[in-house]
Structure 1
Amino acid sequence: MYDYIAIERKYGSGGHEIADKLAKKLGYQLYDRGVVVETCKRMGLPYDQVSGMDEQTPVKALFKASGTDNTSMEEKIYNTEVEIIKEAAEKPGCVFVGRCASEILKDKQCLKVFITADDSYRMKRAINVENIEADKAEDVMKRFDKKREKFFTTHSGYKWGSTDYFDIVLNVSELDEEACVAMLEALVKF
């Protein structure tokens, strides 16, 4: 039985919806954008600023001046999210979406899941569900995927979507969301 599920996802794959449905079926707490809201509260920053830097690869300071804090804002946001995720994991029964939670919880009984889909599926979903303009959907997908991949690789040291890291990789365009939820629910209860 897994007490924690960490889901990474390609943009437009429906990973967030799968996480939400799975959390409800299992009676687990879902941690997604709420982590960003809590980060805003703790850091005293507006939501737009934190969400714009959320899951961003930290910019390293080029020069270190003695006695100054050279921690980038991206690093401060990530470190705050790490605290929030670890605090949430003090109670079993959590589903985390993104934010490299699988790596943060690597010492716990955590099911590491990667959700993907083919580009045409993701394009349709970006347009119809995320309300992205058709002529911009491909660029949005690429931008989000690149950002998430770089963030994940930086913090985990593993390739994003790699079967060497993730316990299960699900292709939603070959299955559907309900089948993915059912498979994950079975795995968690196994």
Structure 2
Amino acid sequence: LCREFFEKADERASQGIIGGLFGMRFPFVGVGALPTQNCLSNDALFKVQSDVIRQLASEKSCLFVGRCADYILREHPSCANIFISASHEARVARLCAMHHISEEEA
């Protein structure tokens, strides 16, 4: 599976409930880089990502941002979880600056 596949899945997931209802299956690229008729459900996508995260964590030190890695690696003996957050005001200001929107829109 290629990077673009996961990026498309992330885009669909960020579309909210409507995107989630109508974007439940994702086409993926098969052997030879030709589109196939196969589809990957959200559960299957999570399984693939989980397997990759577990494999990498078993082989070397890693840093995962998101991807439910804290849950996936919850039983890993060397897992350390860190949650970083900003104040509500700082998050609103960042959204306004990034997307050129008003505080009300943010």
Please say whether Structure 1 and Structure 2 have the same fold, judged by a TM-score greater than 0.5: yes
- For the residue of structure 1 that corresponds to 2:11, the secondary structure is helix
Structure 1 unpaired stretches of 5+: 1-39, 60-71, 139-190
The answer to whether residue 74 in structure 2 is matched with residue 106 in structure 1 is yes
The C-alpha deviation readout for 1:40-92, integer Å capped at 9, x for no partner, is 428xx745532224588987xxxxxxxxxxxx722122111101111211223
Query: Which residue identity does 1:41 align to in structure 2?
Result: C
The answer to which structure, 1 or 2, has the higher relative contact order (CA under 8 A, 6+ apart) is 1
Query: How many Å separate the matches in 1 of 2:6 and 2:87?
Result: 31
Spell out the pairing of 1:50-65 with structure 2 (5 A cutoff).
50-54=9-13
Equivalent of residue 57 in structure 2, options 89, 105, 111? 89
- Tell me if the contact between 1:54 and 1:74 (Cα under 8 Å) persists in the aligned partners: no
Spell out the pairing of 1:24-103 with structure 2 (5 A cutoff).
40-41=1-2, 46=5, 48-54=7-13, 73-103=41-71
Equivalent of residue 132 in structure 1, options 88, 99, 106? 99
Aligned residue in 1 for 2:90: 121
- Taking only the aligned residue pairs, the percentage that are identical comes to 22
Structure 2 unpaired stretches of 5+: 22-39
CA RMSD in angstroms comes to: 3.2
- Relative to the length of structure 2, the TM-score reads 0.59
- Relative to the length of structure 1, the TM-score reads 0.36
